[in-house]
Amino acid sequence: MPIKTIVAILQNERDAARVLDCSLPLARQFEAHLIGVHAEAMPVPYTSASGFPDTEFLQVSADLNKERAGKLKAEFTQRTEGSGLSLEWRSLETFSGDSAISALSSVRAADLVVAGQGEEGGDSTADIGALVYDAGRPVLVVPHSGPMVTSFNRILIAWNGSREAARAAFDALPFIVQAELTEILIIDPPEDLDGSVDAGSEIAASLSRHGANVSVAAVKSGGASMEDVIQDHLSATGADLLVLGAYSHSWLRRLIFGGVTRSVLRAGAVAAFLSR
């Protein structure tokens, strides 16, 4: 399915530039409608020492929110001016002020969502994990540092045969069919499979029928975490896009141990395409 509607999540000035650096070229490439979304929190009423609402505080909060939203809208307008693209800006005011969570109604009607990777300890960071979990649409997570790549010539699919992995692989087809090479990575394949790569042969064949150039790699973790194996393989192969089925383990395991999805959302070195 071609990508015709892209939603760009702009939470703050820090990540807006990188999100637009990614979403604008993609909108041009696919001739897609681009929607910029930003949310501000509704001012929380505080009471003064006398017990009355602190109207001055409310006004200051409202003014700050309006100023921040205006700056992001201005950046979106400036970056897109003269582009010839089909564009739309949506400024929201919600209780959370989280642009990712507040944008759910918008992203569920999109073909692709582009959001910035959260930084450890960063303030005013959007909850991209909740976005990926609840959106029902693929989310392209842009790393918070490093070179910005949107051509995605070499793609790595982390394949474990799960429903989420299958969803991600086929959601990413618009990128996969244009890539020079897509590699299916299988970590610790079952021992009873002849030659190990059989674990990914069926999905590789299916993607190949769409015209993709696909290979399969089976590796042993050797006791290393799945996150480390994937990141090491990304570095070794020079892949510029990771395709991952998000949250394919139980909520209890994710809560206690974290997982590959959480690692990618916080510290992935390349762009990550996630679906569930």
CB 22 within 8 A of CB 194: no
216/128 Cα distance (integer angstroms): 30
Q: Distance between CA atoms of 73 and 31, rounded to whole angstroms?
A: 22
**The CATH number, out of the four listed (3.40.50.620, 3.40.109.10, 3.90.79.10, 3.40.50.1970), of the domain defined by the range 154-275:** 3.40.50.620
Q: CATH fold of 5-142, please? A: Rossmann fold (3.40.50)
Write down the pTM of the prediction. Answer: 0.88
Question: And the tokens for 32?
Answer: 């897609």
* pLDDT at site 123: 52
Q: Tell me the C-alpha distance between 55 and 171, whole Å.
A: 48
Amino acid at 113: V
Considering the chain, tell me which residue range(s) the CATH 3.40.50.620 domain(s) occupy. Answer: 5-142, 154-275
- Distance CA(202)–CA(168), nearest Å, equals 15
**Whether the Cβ atoms of residue 180 and residue 153 lie closer than 8 Å to each other:** yes
Residue 43: which pLDDT band, with cuts at 50, 70 and 90? low
Kindly tell me the number of DSSP H helices and DSSP E strands found in the chain.
11, 10
Task: Note the pLDDT tens digit of each residue in 215-260.
Answer: 999 999 888 888 889 989 999 999 999 999 988 655 434 443 346 7
Q: What whole-number distance in Å separates Cα of residue 140 and Cα of residue 270?
A: 11
- Ranges 69-78, 146-155, 192-201: which has the least confidence: 192-201
For residues 88 and 144, which has the higher predicted lDDT (pLDDT)? 88
CB 143 within 8 A of CB 268: yes
